[in-house]
Structure 1
């Protein structure tokens, strides 16, 4: 791609004025330009670059107050350099805009790729929010030395971007969803502007490719904030040139124009020109829901810019060598040591930091002001306290929650198919959005909840596994946020329906919840209610909760209703005995169901057993949350040993019917030491198309097959 130092802006600004409540970001950009000189932006960028490189290589001498020595250099340099300079360039330019944002407005930066860990740590240090020495966050020489010598801080922050670093917003290790997450963050938040930093490699993912077009699905869906995407078109992925690098500037311009955006391309070489381009982009910002072209910045600064060009005849710039540590062993190589000394000295760090480790006045002029906390608009009455009688149907729960505000439902074109009645006459209310892309739905869901609002993703059971990797990475993100005291976010909620038990062969795949349970993550809950009333009440609790990743498995087709009396214990404990299907006293056999289809079949099997084996004492129980079957401490909400024994006993055979793959339930039980007396029946691939009744038979999950298995277990017990 050719590189230019002048902004390319061909299209006029969209006509009309923004929606009411949308901040005047253009005025904020003008104010910042007047208040902060170009020299301050440049100094802040140099400070970020120096700290990023110093973290990779140095153990001491952070200001280069004396000539560099080999003893100042780390034995084994580690970390990622290449993405830091363009990320730092954007952070330096956005800092003043954050400080001069309009009253009541909020500007958030969202890191797409996680490799800019040194950049995020450097930014946190300059902002005075980093805490490394135990003496409180702030600026000091001990803090500065701890920042560089301790990197990659394996027991504290790690070398990549995580929520453990103060002030960081990042989508997690999954590559690609940053643009969709940014869109989710600004839904129903007209005061908010999110700037996602999107790398070359991310541009090649399906999630990013779909998110450009996905904006069109949000037209007319409410009043939203704005997203200003920044593409870091640095020419390289991890191992070689990016696909974007093979495009001419005209092709790049045509690509984004065709997607409905107004591309503005710049290489960052002329700082005043880039500031003008950024100001022009802010003047063209429009709410996400408004039609017309939206600006996108394409920064073509080379990967690893300002680093060494070559060393000892070996080319470094423009090659994959800049991705991590461009100089592999400067402590032992004279040529690399000289290159490192020249590289760090080029930033003139003594001009950027005082002898006390404080950023100089010039640097501080470009630093951002304090940012607002995520909004936490909630219903005045906790939904969990309203009790199950308020929601006879799942649709009613969703409508009632939406009426309280700060709520969104996302679905991959399956709201009607999943029999959710959200609006009059089958119409969709503005708070419900459909797009035929599970990854985008998850990105919107994640962004919405990350900013303190409740959301729900409703999808087919068979298609939900598409988001497995996104969810695994998001669990890591949540775990780190929670560990750093940043808990309290609304839960991630999935409504999984159109179950494979009633669907065609290609639509049979309950694999998502198996993958989630395999993580042994205590945030995960897999709810398997027995009927519609229980499903509605469980969903209400999910939507009112925090710090969980919830999956509700429920059949969209009508089924039998069961006595409500045991449900309170099912909801609070995760499992409960059903007295009407159980005998008093010590049982000969325990029957346990999880899910509505298994409850239907196993309860019918219990009635068959009463006729065929009238002398047999049966205990029937239902499991409403599969996660409680696992042992503590991996599962903090697990049944205690005492409760588990009270339900399942220790010497009684158990026949268990589940709506998932049985293997994951066996694994949870095996972790408790239960490997022999449980016989778990669930989905297994029938190998060919079949009817719903045929599928139950092939999986040994029909009432007849279950009663036959129960009889066999009773017979084996008496031998």
Structure 2
């Protein structure tokens, strides 16, 4: 289909129109970097028309502009129901994205001061870098998908966008320096894990082989053409080459690449378009005897100081004038008629989801139906039920069996909505592409190795924050199930750092769910997958532990915390001791302590709390579920010692409490690194969570002779 569309587009839109659009994009990029006035060069250029401190990135813009111009006619030819996405591998092409969004009119739809008018053109050029939009590609620039500041995951993100979407073509622009990253290298091979997992769309990788990364020549540029062909062929991709200088040749190469493309997961060679346009194409070869083109200088502003340097000013004047901007844009800021056929048409509303109804009721029902079943039997039905609704994917780094998550069909096969690959970054990037296109996904992994994806998650949180700022509709949540916890694992497999890292971001969408047993884990997963626009970590061990009464599950899900009446002294306004658990192992250990205290110290007024969402502890007003001061006092009292236990780092609770920290009356126990391998029993003892240590701590906190005159 895509080849036929490209062929028809090539026949219906002239190469001259594509060339004119390319020039218009190049000019607008260069003008954004340098011009403070005189946007169409309608007056002779003077130093006063230039920005005193030019800023931005030129090097990546020319190759990106050529691809955007070549894709425009194809986008215009799309039939109803078809979808074409451009995924940027690097955010430095913001001038290109802004120029493209301006010419299509979409930028003005979002920002009225950037409409296609003389004033809008002046604001676009002279206002860059725009404080309210930024100097890199973000969701604040309509029509361009770039999901974070980390190089590497773009190819996998693009693969995620086309899963279960046979109507979609995602063109991903990958810098040759980006090809040096582990995430990109793994993405070529990792696509084989998607074979037999359903009907998918098509990804066309475009490698911008411009010869340079930021600091010097790229490794990929050091290969000969034969070596380069052998490299891509070995990765399962047949390369199609073009230098991009001739629009006709570029469009023919694009058509050839689409002809050889296959839906993601198909067997046989796929295609890759390799654009060999030099980085910063168009920059002067030399200025005052100093080489410019082909050097690191083209990465940002090739001419750093044209206001004060006469030779640079002369070179810039000639460079800007060479595009003949008055032939590309009208005096009132519109694209000239002869390049309009190469522009894509206006796009429909951005992807989003309607908020689901009945999240808490549905989650509570799941927990009640689950009953006292072990971890594997409790959570597998949650995933199967979610998959039954469609548009759901579960990704795992080759750990489902180890994590005791059995999702095999009756015939012993793995359902197609489950994908395993031994790479945490790929799992996250696939899930990211899937959720960014409006579908639900979950990543199940060892708690200890989830921190590998910390940077990717943080970048996606920034991307989501920018989406919210732009007023875009909410998307399905980022959901992680962290299991195979370090409490029952070898020393190298003990690392609850992802929770600490994400809480430290302060992002209000982050929630850390610490269910007390498998039934509550099933409820937490159901709830997390139904909610929108969150980043939820569900932390639950796979080993058999205590099952607890269900009567407080709805309160735990709704408010993030609940007292457990069966372990609490009735009617006590100020208890003698508060026990608070966060997680299944802490609940297992503290409930045993509570039962012993009630049996051996019946005079003690005990209150037992379970913290289902760690973020309830935050200062009031700082997080959506943060307890009010009144609720915090109602739960934790004002004078009673508090003994809390968490499955993660104790510092997480201390940091969340912030200025309302109860001070010395609070003791938090949790994981602390033992410094060497040890048994699970010794680890509990090292962390003071074994039976003996807890009893000693609790009885030390509350003297045997209790004052009975407390209010």
Normalising TM by the smaller chain, what interval? over 0.9
**Closer, same or farther in 2 for the Cα pair 1:383/1:571, shift >3 Å?**
closer
**Equivalent in the alignment of 1:700:** 688
Residue 103 (structure 2) aligned to one of 126, 133, 137: 126
Q: For structure 1, which segment, 288-297 or 709-718, has the greater mean C-alpha deviation from structure 2 after superposition?
A: 709-718
Residue 158 (structure 2) aligned to one of 177, 182, 185: 182
**Equivalent in the alignment of 2:169:** 193
Provide the C-alpha distance between the structure 2 equivalents of 1:601 and 1:685, rounded to a whole number of angstroms: 19
Residue 460 (structure 2) aligned to one of 474, 477, 484: 474
Provide the C-alpha distance between the structure 1 equivalents of 2:191 and 2:354, rounded to a whole number of angstroms: 26
**Equivalent in the alignment of 2:375:** none
Provide the C-alpha distance between the structure 2 equivalents of 1:502 and 1:717, rounded to a whole number of angstroms: 38
Provide the C-alpha distance between the structure 2 equivalents of 1:531 and 1:54, rounded to a whole number of angstroms: 60
**Closer, same or farther in 2 for the Cα pair 1:372/1:226, shift >3 Å?**
farther
Provide the C-alpha distance between the structure 2 equivalents of 1:295 and 1:611, rounded to a whole number of angstroms: 71
**Equivalent in the alignment of 2:564:** 578
Residue 657 (structure 1) aligned to one of 638, 645, 662: 645
Residue 511 (structure 2) aligned to one of 503, 520, 525: 525
Residue 464 (structure 1) aligned to one of 450, 458, 469: 450
**Equivalent in the alignment of 1:398:** 383
Q: TM-score, normalised by structure 1?
A: 0.94
**Equivalent in the alignment of 1:602:** 590
Shift of residue 652, structure 1, vs aligned partner: 2.3
Provide the C-alpha distance between the structure 2 equivalents of 1:120 and 1:474, rounded to a whole number of angstroms: 19
Shift of residue 676, structure 1, vs aligned partner: 3.1
SS in 1 for 2:578: strand
Shift of residue 418, structure 1, vs aligned partner: 1.2
**Equivalent in the alignment of 2:416:** 430
Provide the C-alpha distance between the structure 1 equivalents of 2:416 and 2:354, rounded to a whole number of angstroms: 18
RMSD: 1.9
Q: For structure 1, which segment, 206-215 or 370-379, has the greater mean C-alpha deviation from structure 2 after superposition?
A: 370-379
Is 1:489 equivalent to 2:488 in the alignment?
A: no
Shift of residue 589, structure 1, vs aligned partner: 1.4
Residue 123 (structure 2) aligned to one of 136, 146, 149: 146
Provide the C-alpha distance between the structure 2 equivalents of 1:178 and 1:74, rounded to a whole number of angstroms: 33
Is 1:545 equivalent to 2:517 in the alignment?
A: no
Provide the C-alpha distance between the structure 1 equivalents of 2:38 and 2:83, rounded to a whole number of angstroms: 37
8 Å contact from structure 2 (residues 284, 315) kept in 1: yes
**Equivalent in the alignment of 2:632:** 644
Q: Over residues 147-193 of structure 1, what are the superposed CA-to-partner deviations in whole Å (9 max), with x where a residue is unaligned? A: 11111112x11101111111121121111000000000000000000
Q: Over residues 431-474 of structure 1, what are the superposed CA-to-partner deviations in whole Å (9 max), with x where a residue is unaligned? A: 10100000000010000000000001110111111001111111
Unaligned runs of 5+ in 1: 1-23
Is 1:54 equivalent to 2:36 in the alignment?
A: no
SS in 2 for 1:168: coil
**Equivalent in the alignment of 2:220:** 244
Shift of residue 507, structure 1, vs aligned partner: 0.7
SS in 1 for 2:212: coil
Residue 87 (structure 1) aligned to one of 64, 83, 87: 64
Residue 413 (structure 1) aligned to one of 371, 394, 398: 398
**Closer, same or farther in 2 for the Cα pair 1:683/1:152, shift >3 Å?**
same
Q: TM-score, normalised by structure 2?
A: 0.95
Shift of residue 137, structure 1, vs aligned partner: 5.7
Shift of residue 693, structure 1, vs aligned partner: 1.3
8 Å contact from structure 1 (residues 378, 406) kept in 2: no
8 Å contact from structure 2 (residues 113, 119) kept in 1: no
Map residues 285-434 of structure 1 onto 2, 5 A cutoff.
285-373=261-349, 384-390=360-366, 392=370, 393-424=378-409, 426-434=412-420
8 Å contact from structure 1 (residues 174, 470) kept in 2: yes
**Closer, same or farther in 2 for the Cα pair 1:674/1:196, shift >3 Å?**
farther
Provide the C-alpha distance between the structure 2 equivalents of 1:619 and 1:466, rounded to a whole number of angstroms: 38
Shift of residue 608, structure 1, vs aligned partner: 2.3
Is 1:35 equivalent to 2:12 in the alignment?
A: yes
Provide the C-alpha distance between the structure 2 equivalents of 1:387 and 1:328, rounded to a whole number of angstroms: 59
8 Å contact from structure 1 (residues 40, 363) kept in 2: yes
Provide the C-alpha distance between the structure 2 equivalents of 1:528 and 1:677, rounded to a whole number of angstroms: 23
**Equivalent in the alignment of 2:619:** 631
**Equivalent in the alignment of 2:702:** 714
Equivalenced residue count is: 695
Provide the C-alpha distance between the structure 2 equivalents of 1:27 and 1:679, rounded to a whole number of angstroms: 68
Q: Over residues 53-76 of structure 1, what are the superposed CA-to-partner deviations in whole Å (9 max), with x where a residue is unaligned? A: 111111111111111111110111
**Closer, same or farther in 2 for the Cα pair 1:280/1:485, shift >3 Å?**
same
Provide the C-alpha distance between the structure 1 equivalents of 2:635 and 2:110, rounded to a whole number of angstroms: 50
Shift of residue 389, structure 1, vs aligned partner: 2.9
Provide the C-alpha distance between the structure 2 equivalents of 1:560 and 1:133, rounded to a whole number of angstroms: 54
Shift of residue 268, structure 1, vs aligned partner: 1.0
Provide the C-alpha distance between the structure 2 equivalents of 1:424 and 1:99, rounded to a whole number of angstroms: 43
